[in-house]
Structures are given as C-alpha cells and as structure tokens.
C-alpha cells in the first residue's frame, strides 16, 4: 500500500482501519471457504480487541458473470463492444488478460519488461494499461511493440469491464496484482491466475 497507492487512497484506508474497532459490525466481500483461517484470525482478541463481529458475505458478483452466464451481451454498453468484438475473434481460452487494478502502479521498468515478455512469448493478450497520472510516471512501451503485437494483442488505456472480460470464453488466464475483487472475480469466472502481488 505504501509503495503503490496514491496518498489519498492510503489516507482513506488508514483512517477507516483506525475506526473499525468502534463499529457495530463489519461486512466483508469474502468467502470463508477460501481464507477461513485469515477470517478466524481477524476475529481474535489480538487483532480485534473489541470483538467487533465480522460477517463474510460473498462473493458479491452479478450472477450473469459466473462462467456460462455470459450469453446476454445486450446488457453491455456500446463502449464494451470494442472488447467484445476483439475477444469474439479469439480462440476459446486463448487470451491472457492483464490488469493491475485501479490503485496499483507498475514502474516504467516493470511495464517495459512485461511488454518484452509478451512480445517474446507470442501470447494473445488484452492489457489494461492505465495512462500515467503525471509526466514523471512515463509508461513508454518498447519501440515497435504495438506494431509487432497488434495482430494478437489489445491494449486499453481506460477503465474496462473486468467481469465482462473474465467471463468471456476467450479469456484463458489473468495476470493480476491479486486485489481481492480480482481474485474473487477470477475464481467465479473459472479463470486461472498468474499472480504479481502489488
């Protein structure tokens, strides 16, 4: 959190964490069967001295996004059609989806190395690569990367409908920062994860 999150996000999280002990209860988007030991530990006096009840409720996802429920494409916006058309043209389970969430920030070097790996492995990919927030966060891709990979890769520089992408039959893997929502969404979509924790 300290390394990758913007100051305002860190302050929001820390401010709220410090107030948790005053709560009447905490509801979390959580699946006990996945990480029950962590939830049991959070309920103990050492971590939770006021014994605030913690209620796991999850996964909280629209049912149409569970694997097999993707058929109703009319529900998606015009903006989503670009991703759908591209994914529709790919073979089943052939696309590596790459996204590091809305908070984690890859360094310029990490972006360069990931681009080189994608270029070398010839893997089809859909990469959500956010634009830098400032000039000091330049995210230049290696020279000619886009021209060499245009036939098998799609780079999106804005927000993208992650559930829609993960639940698409062409998506075969997910390179992720391991944010909790991303993990739950990939499990519910039955998409294997390549973890790059941030």
CA distance 130 to 121: 22
- Cross-strand bridge partners of residue 56: 28
Token duo for residue 18: 């410090």
CB neighbourhood size of 187 (10 A):
17
CA distance 193 to 23: 34
pLDDT tens digit string along 9-57?
778 888 888 888 888 999 988 888 888 898 999 888 888 888 899 998 8
CA-based diameter of the chain, in Å? 58
Domains of the chain, earliest start first: 7-56 (no CATH), 63-195 (3.40.50.2000)
- Cross-strand bridge partners of residue 61: none
pLDDT tens digit string along 136-183?
545 578 888 888 988 899 998 888 888 889 989 999 999 999 988 899
CA 140 to chain centre: 22
Q: Tell if the pTM clears 0.95, that is, is over it.
A: no
């Amino acid at each position: 959190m300290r390394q990758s999150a913007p100051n305002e996000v860190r302050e929001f999280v820390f401010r709220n964490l410090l107030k948790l002990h005053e709560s009447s209860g905490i509801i979390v988007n959580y699946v006990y069967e996945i990480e029950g030991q962590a939830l049991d530990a959070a309920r103990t006096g050492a971590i939770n001295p006021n014994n605030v009840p913690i209620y796991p409720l999850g996964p909280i996802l629209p049912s149409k996004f569970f694997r097999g429920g993707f058929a109703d494409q009319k529900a998606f916006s015009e903006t989503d059609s670009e991703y759908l058309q591209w994914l529709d043209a790919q073979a089943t389970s052939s696309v590596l989806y790459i996204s590091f969430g809305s908070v984690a920030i890859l360094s310029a070097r990490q972006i360069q190395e990931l681009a080189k790996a994608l270029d070398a492995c010839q893997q089809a990919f859909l990469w959500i690569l956010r634009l830098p927030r400032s000039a000091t966060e330049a995210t230049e891709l290696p020279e000619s990367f886009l021209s060499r990979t245009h036939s098998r890769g799609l780079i999106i520089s804005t927000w993208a409908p992650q559930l829609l992408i993960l639940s698409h039959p062409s998506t075969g893997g997910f390179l992720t920062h391991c944010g909790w929502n991303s993990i739950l969404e990939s499990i519910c979509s039955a998409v294997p994860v390549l973890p790059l924790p941030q």
